[in-house]
Structure 1
């Protein structure tokens, strides 16, 4: 694995000059936990990326896919203000493209207009919304830039509620214990993802939460959300049956707690020290390796 602090190849962009609307954004802090948790970057240095810093979070965008390979957010539970009724509402003007990036290198409104696809926010508005009032508001507003979204099915089922509840569960846990968290997340980008309106729709999403235990030792847990077509049917046949001009058929969501190493393998991202800090016990059999979550009570947050 390439070390997280290794120089990137010429094909990987370290970032772009900030536009006036996003000037001064410092983004995700790899030292936020007091132990290094680097920004997730592709293991293959030939993969082009653009690093986009926002307030308290950063998006690592893949221009070839026009969406993020990863996003990383710092959460300070001790400095979270009370969530007002408009905390999760887009700012005036709604969703917008990042002015630091050409429009054809990010998936904008045309991908989501007049269809059943949701804008799946990678970094939830409440996650970076801490600090002073103006700082928290700016962070929440920053999450409504298109690089922080990826297409998700609008299917509402319990597994999706578990995935969405997971974010709040992590936020509440941080606030209750005045704890700092680093949360890494993104879509699983595969070459076989179905095409639609100039992008490929990811069929899985991932999330890794990192924090320090009371003894100072780093800990991590990982999760996968699967929106693949119904596995009763052959996935290729299901996707081949898509209606021309319509989004690809997607299945009901399934949420799993998984080994951090599996996320690293699925995404080909360098997750630094987090695989070694995993709290999910080693599975005895392959069938037990991915722990299906039907409620938040199923999450394992400590070694047994």
Structure 2
């Protein structure tokens, strides 16, 4: 007795010719899947002749590329280029060999020629000038709440005729660092907005250095040590045309323990340039001389830290 639903009429059986398209699609599936999972790599030749960070960008206010304390200098991943930098369009990066993250990223912002570039679909890629395994990639960020955080903000180098190239350059894993979701959504974003909006409004220029605070006891997730804080140092010309600098740090230690659960409010603080140098081992030339917090700390011998709750607390 035939089972219910089982066709017994031979004429109902599919012909081999009818099955051919299905077989072909099944054969093609593994190749298509490989194309979807294969990492994107920007060939080294495509990144040749990039004009990266410029120390003379602020005119007579020369802001050299940061130097590093001996321990940090030994950890720099060699690139074969000057100062072992990775140069991109309007920004540059020095990469940590041990942590596979940027030690410092620096960008020049020109508000007078800023170009609004639509974000589109995020497409992160490895920098072909370095081995892929020297860069933290998608395996860290997949299926969790960690942000693929831009260190050089996507919009900052987007100015002039090379704005679209600059925009694409920011989507390299060398410019990416694991950040709590709220990092890009709260006061740190307001700080970035404040800097960029003011350069655009006043058609001004600024230089911004950013990086993770790398500690030996940083917590480990998926075999990767996650930075507990991020810092930013800004150099610019004040309303009076005089050189100025300011520094900031966001701390995410309290939330890292909740990495796989939820993300709460983070705290951003105004610090002195001197403090950032002490904490990071990154040296910013004489920028501390132009920073009010650093000068006050030197006079009083007291460390200054100011919480930032919103744009009204940001002082440049």
TM range (shorter): 0.7 to 0.9
* Structure 1 position 137 matched with structure 2 position 159: no
Is 1:203 paired with 2:228?
A: yes
Contact 1:183–1:207 under 8 Å retained in 2: yes
Paired position in structure 2 for 1:271: 284
Q: How does 1:157-168 map to 2 (within 5 A)?
A: 160-168=185-193
Indicate the residue corresponding to 2:89 in structure 1.
Answer: 55
Counterpart CA distance in 1 for 2:260 and 2:224 is 11
Task: Determine which structure has the larger helix proportion and give its number.
Answer: 2
**Aligned-residue offset at 1:105:** 0.8
Report what 2:69 is aligned to. Answer: 43
Counterpart position of 1:169 = 194
Deviation at 1:250?
7.1
CA RMSD of aligned residues (A): 2.4
Q: Distance in 2 between matches of 1:273 and 1:155?
A: 33
Alpha-carbon deviation of 1:120?
1.2
Per-residue deviation at 1:114?
A: 1.1
Q: Secondary structure at the residue paired with 2:75?
A: coil
- In structure 2, the CA distance between the partners of 1:38 and 1:248, relative to structure 1 (3 Å rule), is farther
1:105 and 2:134 aligned: yes
Other-structure match for 1:9: none
* Map of 1:117 onto structure 2: 146
Q: CA deviation at 1:294?
A: 0.3
The secondary structure found in structure 1 opposite 2:192 is helix
How many residues in Structure 1 have an aligned counterpart in Structure 2? Answer: 262
1:295 is aligned, of 296, 302, 310, to 310
Q: CA contact under 8 A between 1:279 and 1:300: conserved in structure 2?
A: no
| Partners of 2:261 and 2:128 in 1: CA distance | 29
Q: Distance in 1 between matches of 2:105 and 2:121?
A: 19
Q: TM-score by structure 2 length?
A: 0.76
- Name the SS of the counterpart of 2:163 in structure 1: helix
Q: Which runs of 5+ in 1 are unaligned?
A: 1-17, 231-237
Q: Which runs of 5+ in 2 are unaligned?
A: 1-42, 79-84
CA distance in 1, matches of 2:261, 2:99: 16
Matches within 5 A, 1:106-255: 106-132=135-161, 135-155=162-182, 160-229=185-254, 252-255=265-268
Query: The residue matched to 1:282 in structure 2 has which SS?
Result: helix
Deviation at 1:177, TM superposition (A): 1.4
Partner in structure 2 of residue 11 of structure 1 = none
Q: Counterpart of 1:265 in 2: which secondary structure?
A: helix
Q: Which residue of 1 aligns with 2:17?
A: none
CA distance in 2, matches of 1:156, 1:75: 21
Which residue is equivalent to 1:13? Answer: none
Q: Which 10-residue stretch deviates more, 180-189 or 32-41? A: 32-41
- 1:175 is paired with a residue whose SS is helix
> Match for residue 282 of structure 1?
296
* Number of the residue aligned with 2:111: 77
Offset, 1:299: 1.7
Distance 1:182 1:112 in 2: 29
Output the CA distance in 2 between the equivalents of 1:285 and 1:251. 34
Q: Which has the larger radius of gyration?
A: 2
Match of 2:7 in 1: none
- CA pair 247-100 structure 1, distance change in 2 beyond 3 A: farther
TM-score normalised by length of structure 1: 0.79
